[in-house]
Amino acid sequence: MSAETDGRKKSRAKTREKILKVATKLFARKGFDGARVDEIAQKAGVNKALIYYYFKSKEEILEEIMKVFLEESLRRKKKMMERHVQIDKKELIRLSIERIFDLYKGNEDVLRIIITEELKSEKKQWPLFQVLDMGLAEGLKMAQDVGLGIKNKDRIVRAAFYFGFVPIAFFTLLKDEWARYYNSDKNKDQKEFIDILKKTYVRFLLEELKG
């Protein structure tokens, strides 16, 4: 590959990434229906036709945002599993909870989009649950790869939603408002939240994972 061709490839990737970042902010602020492709193009500093060169529709932009979020989540899980393959399973579960916080911390807009679109969707394509299913399937596989057995897959999937995604996602989105309302330190609030979550969620998972 020539230097010129490689340069064009990097430029296209950078432009595509910029479009996704701008779209993510607009979808989170205005909602998917409220954000227009013209506005995405304007704020991204590109021609509207260029957006349709990279994405067939606004729906495809949304799908790609969710796909990127999922891939980043799986990449972090895999990296953590590989790094801590010999670690005690109790500590591994605790670390996984902290890694979820790390991931969500920089993706508040994506979380807001996923939850908002799920609640108002009339077509009910269930994007939230599809994302969770894919992430959980990969997470369970990784757990088995490092020697952790699964007693009841269904119970773990449900627990991950009840005590993992739901509280962490909503705390991430509301922690600033909570801190302002109670005039508290949001960093201390988060530490306390993680400590409480570990005591409940970790205890359950330890009973469900063998090995």
pLDDT 10s digits, 57-100: 999 999 899 888 878 877 777 776 666 556 666 676 677 777 77
Report pLDDT for 205: 76
pLDDT at residue 161, rounded to an integer? 83
Mean pLDDT value across residues 43-51: 94
Is residue 81 within 8 A of residue 145, CB to CB? The reply is yes
Q: Which residue has the higher pLDDT, 104 or 40?
A: 40
Reduced to 3 states, what is the DSSP secondary structure of residue 120? helix
Give the Cα separation of 43 and 55 in Å (integer).
Answer: 17
User: What domains, with CATH codes, occur in the chain?
Assistant: 1-55 (1.10.10.60), 66-210 (1.10.357)
Residue 38 has pLDDT above 60, yes or no: yes
Q: What is the mean pLDDT of residues 188-204?
A: 84
Decide if 154 contacts 167 (C-beta within 8 A): no
User: So what's the pLDDT on residue 83?
Assistant: 66
Mean pLDDT for the chain? 81
pLDDT digits (tens, 9 = 90+) for 118-168: 777 665 566 667 767 766 776 677 677 767 777 788 888 888 888 888 888
pLDDT at 3: 54
pLDDT at 102: 75
pTM of the model: 0.75
- 84 or 117, higher pLDDT: 117
Contacts of 164 (CB under 8 A, 6+ apart): 97, 100, 201
Percent pLDDT > 90 in the chain is 29
Better-scored residue on pLDDT, 48 or 7? 48
